[in-house]
Amino acid sequence: AALFRIIGEAADESALPELISRLQGKDALARLHIIHVLAKFNKPEVQRALQTQLGDHNKLIRSAALAALSKMDGPIEVAKVCGLLRDPELEVQNRAVDLLQHAKDPDTIRHLVPVLKDESEQARRPAVEVLNEVGDARSVKYLLEAIKDDDWWVRSRAGDALGKIGGP
């Protein structure tokens, strides 16, 4: 930990290629520290590298990558992050919600509809949180499609979101 603290203080943009290449290592703890160092750099190559970590088997890696991405600007892989709303770890789900709300990508609703249809209430709950926060006029076409869904629960949540977009 002390070594990575020193690396974090000394690292500049010239160290990014080396740090990014180390994200493919086998030591999860080292990768976790590297993610924390990379979080200081709001660069497209760092964002791409962090997004590769979203599918990692280690929940701490997934959570750290989401936290780092939520501090950055720029596009994210919305489909991949929406998939993490189904993650069995509550902390990972919450970080995915934060990232999706921060990104406010208009494509988010399209990727939320399958999560809203999930059998697990644990997956649907964070999807509704995101839906209520990012739903706007650009989302109407996806919500109108969701209104036609066979599942009453999905229709109801889409109706709620449309009502919120339309105002009182």
Residue 54 and residue 65 in contact, taking contact as beta carbons nearer than 8 Å = yes
What pLDDT is stored for residue 89 in this prediction? 96
What pLDDT is stored for residue 121 in this prediction? 86
Distance CA 139, CA 109 (A): 6
Residues 6+ apart with CB under 8 A from 15: 7
Entry pTM: 0.84
What pLDDT is stored for residue 168 in this prediction? 64
Determine the average pLDDT of the residues in 140-162.
Answer: 84
What pLDDT is stored for residue 81 in this prediction? 97
pLDDT value at 154 more than 80: yes
What pLDDT is stored for residue 22 in this prediction? 93
What pLDDT is stored for residue 148 in this prediction? 86
Residue 92 and residue 65 in contact, taking contact as beta carbons nearer than 8 Å = no
pLDDT value at 62 more than 70: yes
pLDDT in tens, 83-102: 999 999 999 999 999 999 99
Distance CA 125, CA 128 (A): 5
Report, in this order, helix, strand and coil percent for the chain, each rounded to 5.
75, 0, 25
Determine the average pLDDT of the residues in 36-55.
Answer: 95
Burial class (CB in 10 A: 0-12, 13-18, 19+), 17: exposed
Determine the average pLDDT of the residues in 119-146.
Answer: 85
HSE-up of 112 (CA within 13 Å, CB side)?
32
Determine the average pLDDT of the residues in 56-68.
Answer: 97
